[in-house]
Structure 1
Amino acid sequence: MKKLILSAILVGSMATTFAQTADSVEIGAGYANQVWYSMLTGKQATVAKDNWDLAFDMVEIYATIRINSESGVMLWNYPKGDKGAWSTVDTNGLSTWTARYNSDTSWTYGAMGAYSDPSDPFDLDWGKYDVSTHTIKGDSLYVIKLVNGDYKKLFIEKLLSGVYTFKFANLDGSNETTASIDKSNFASRNFAYFSIVDNKSLNREPDFTKWDILFTQYTSFVPTAYNVTGVLHNRGARTVQVDNIPNVSTYMNWQSHNDNSEINTIGYDWKSFNGTGYDIKDSLVYFVKTWDKEIGEYSVWKLWFTDFQSATGKYVFNKQTVYTASVAGVDGKTEALMTLYPNPSNGSNVTLVYDINTGAKEATVQVYDMTGRLMLNDRLQTAAGMYTYTIHTAQLQSGLYIVRLTVDGKDAVQRLSIN
């Protein structure tokens, strides 16, 4: 059986030919916005950060609820009673109550969800799971400070069949309102958002398959809760942080470092305030590993920052694809490698780099648009070795494409973006 040992030397020899792309993202004066970003296709959405109070987890198996702490929302578990105290809530002593915060390392632990009893497998913090009815029944009462500074009392009643039901009211009980959010209406999102101020749900983030990192303010713990400006990665992504690199522009040895699932691995501390502006750690580089659900492959992107401008919330950075897709044989061993550069392409032709360990009987390349239409089908070299093949883009419209390398009936695929 043909096999290829994927060494750092081989990956380096392929990756060093990839184009580096300079890019920037602005979240606005006062860090007013959040920007969702795809490493492949760039900015996906820009949305004001202060138009919501609560974010409800839309993933089927999760039930966490996050608060908009970066915009001033605060949450307290009512210490004087549980749900039975709804009609008698008072805020005497509020300044001594312990505030609840979202985790800054996981999307799965929100301000309502991160404080469950570890000894009780059915406790989800804001409620408990009822095995007989398959319902999470709320048992906790909260006081919440909204983005506009108003205070409300809040009770999450239940999560049943994918529908969150909750109510809120003024502290004196007036203007009581019951609302609901159905997960089925936000099936492709990590979270559905709700503005208590405006009494409406919000679809404010892109499809979770369309973005990799989020440029935003968020609440971190340094060591106490404090709003920072940085970058969080998406669910399912993993990030490698490599420090003390003499030349980050040429460093490629990401495989020798452990990756991290904590969403704030990139975080905020790649920069530091010097009194008038920000200094960037020029010996620090990140490798962002993201799972492409549609093609069933990982992508790995190198990322390093070169500037941060606080007046406009402008992040300036370089990115570079370093991922090498593989063709696996029937025994699971790697038979061939492929990658594309530049990717994305700004109208220039794209080079397919592929490596075959030993002679193959047949090797082909196909390019498909996102509707499945075949745009290119060609035969490739089959002898052992590393080759390049030029994909001419003049006849390809701007958009996403799937490039498929087939070696003796086994496939590797990568997305190609043409701008």
Structure 2
Amino acid sequence: MKNIVRLSTILCSAFFSAQLFAQTPIKDTVSMGSGYANAVYYNLRTGAKSQSAISTWHMSHTTVSRDNCIRLNHLNGVDVYAYPKGSNKDFSTMDTAGWSSWKHLYNDIHTHELGALNQSTNAKNPMDFSWGIYNSTTHEIEGDSLYLFVINTPSVGKSYLKFMPILQTATGDLIFRFARLDGSIDKTDTLLQSSFTGKSYKYYNFTKGAVQPEPIRENWDLLFTRYMAPTTPPGGGPKVMYPTMGVESKRGERVSKITNYTWDVIATNPPQSIAGIKMTGTPGELSKDLTKIGGDWKAYDGAAMTWNISTDWNYIVETIRIQGTTKDTAFWMLAFTGFSGSAKGETQLKRMELKTSTAAVSQSKQFSAKLFPNPSSDNILIMANGISEKAIVQIIGMDGRLIHSNSNCEFSQGAVQLSVQDLPRGIYFVTIQTNNDKLSLPFIKQ
């Protein structure tokens, strides 16, 4: 008998053959409207949706006092150029000749803290926050930069604004000045931290002033929206910035992208799946990447004129709610099942909460078992119910190698202890086999 077990066989019978006992996923549709006109804030726990027109705001500033992020709404027609000829002291005499060749700035699509105005830091000066300099005495950020905003508004055309951040106060307020090049508008305004309590950002519209597109942070997890992303042109060549419909995660929440295990595998193994994504250095490690979900789960087939969906890609979101001093964390799994494109702006998905199960049930449902602790660094207990005969217990590696085998395990006392202290860190499977039944349980060696 060979000691090598095919990994594909393990994954079919392992990872809890109790697929019938997994929760039923919740199906849902998120609609951004024709042309993706609206951003949709989505609550994974309740399915609640809050819509806001993408055209609502032009600029946002962080509500995190230790941060200094200023993001621009490129999909509301805002292009940003850094003034190369001076500082904000030159606001009144700003020379815009040759502006189209100036450095074109974009929001970073992976890091919340790196907005369009945070792209030009001086690496030699730790107090340089790109648009301003941190004052360690006052704990304020004093603006020293000047920008040109070119805003393209449908049915109106282009407007040209010179913009200078003046000050981020110690309490988080942002004071700034902007003016049209034709002199018709010249205004100094303040985004007040106190007006955006419970929000991730403070928002501003250069026509209307402060606006409130975002719901309270506790009421949403994901944002279905549009943003500029590096994209390979249809004919190939260097990537260019191109409008993309995608999904962003809320600041502070982490997301895992899993492409090597199916929905059913994860759904029937919540404790092991959650433990696995918490491990550092693994492909599915939880990440604060803003667009970990993003938009690459869909691809347009020009020949067939249809959207292809990566339905075998799954995402686990660590949803967080703060209730007073209590932090409530729950893990929700998400996968996409359909996409309409811009005609309707609809995305079909399924979601479910990953809850800790008490035990896994064997293939023929003759016995159940669970591992404790999991993850483990030294010993694990196999606790089983329904095994009256001696069983074969094996440890299998992720590559299918048989690492340990004991054909004489007695479960009459309800538990068997295994030493795993000599195993390298990683994911393994414990298989329990009786004469008529079998069960495989994944576990993590820390």
Structure 2 length-normalised TM: 0.68
Pairs within 5 Å for 1:3-402: 16-148=21-153, 149-160=158-169, 161-198=171-208, 200-222=209-231, 223-245=239-261, 247-252=262-267, 254=273, 255-256=275-276, 257-275=284-302, 276-294=305-323, 295-310=326-341, 311-324=343-356
Whether contact under 8 Å (1:44, 1:206) holds in the other structure is no
CA distance in 2, matches of 1:238, 1:126: 28
Q: CA deviation at 1:251?
A: 3.3
Q: CA deviation at 1:270?
A: 0.4
CA distance in 2, matches of 1:301, 1:15: 19
CA distance in 1, matches of 2:119, 2:334: 30
CA distance in 2, matches of 1:318, 1:248: 10
Change (3 A) 1:293 1:114: farther
Whether contact under 8 Å (2:15, 2:265) holds in the other structure is no
CA distance in 1, matches of 2:172, 2:293: 32
Task: Tell me the number of residue pairs that the alignment of Structure 1 and Structure 2 aligns.
Answer: 323
Any idea what the Cα deviations from partners look like across 1:304-336, whole Å, max 9, x if unmatched?
11100011110001101114399xxxxxxx999
Q: CA deviation at 1:28?
A: 0.7
- Secondary structure of 1:25's match? strand
CA distance in 1, matches of 2:16, 2:229: 36
Aligned equivalent of 2:391 = none
Change (3 A) 1:192 1:16: farther
Any idea what the Cα deviations from partners look like across 1:242-293, whole Å, max 9, x if unmatched?
1144x43443453433122101111101010012121101221111112222
CA distance in 1, matches of 2:21, 2:92: 66
CA distance in 1, matches of 2:152, 2:356: 45
- Secondary structure of 2:285's match? coil
Whether contact under 8 Å (1:242, 1:286) holds in the other structure is yes
Change (3 A) 1:214 1:91: same
Change (3 A) 1:205 1:147: farther
One-letter amino acid of the structure 1 residue matched with residue 181 of structure 2:
L
Q: CA deviation at 1:20?
A: 0.7
CA distance in 1, matches of 2:352, 2:337: 14
Q: CA deviation at 1:231?
A: 0.5
Q: Which has the larger radius of gyration?
A: 2
CA distance in 1, matches of 2:24, 2:230: 37
Change (3 A) 1:284 1:175: same
Structure 1 length-normalised TM: 0.72
Whether contact under 8 Å (1:50, 1:147) holds in the other structure is no
- Secondary structure of 1:59's match? coil
Any idea what the Cα deviations from partners look like across 1:92-115, whole Å, max 9, x if unmatched?
112211111111012211111232
CA distance in 2, matches of 1:232, 1:315: 14
Extract unaligned runs of 5+ from structure 2: 1-13, 232-238, 277-283, 359-371, 375-382, 385-413, 416-446
Whether contact under 8 Å (1:146, 1:197) holds in the other structure is no
Q: CA deviation at 1:12?
A: 8.7
CA distance in 1, matches of 2:98, 2:221: 42
CA distance in 2, matches of 1:33, 1:99: 26
CA RMSD, aligned part only?
2.6
One-letter amino acid of the structure 1 residue matched with residue 221 of structure 2:
D
Extract unaligned runs of 5+ from structure 1: 1-8, 327-333, 337-356, 359-383, 386-419
CA distance in 1, matches of 2:140, 2:85: 25
One-letter amino acid of the structure 1 residue matched with residue 335 of structure 2:
W
Whether contact under 8 Å (2:251, 2:290) holds in the other structure is yes
CA distance in 2, matches of 1:290, 1:208: 11
Any idea what the Cα deviations from partners look like across 1:133-167, whole Å, max 9, x if unmatched?
22211100110012522111011110113221111
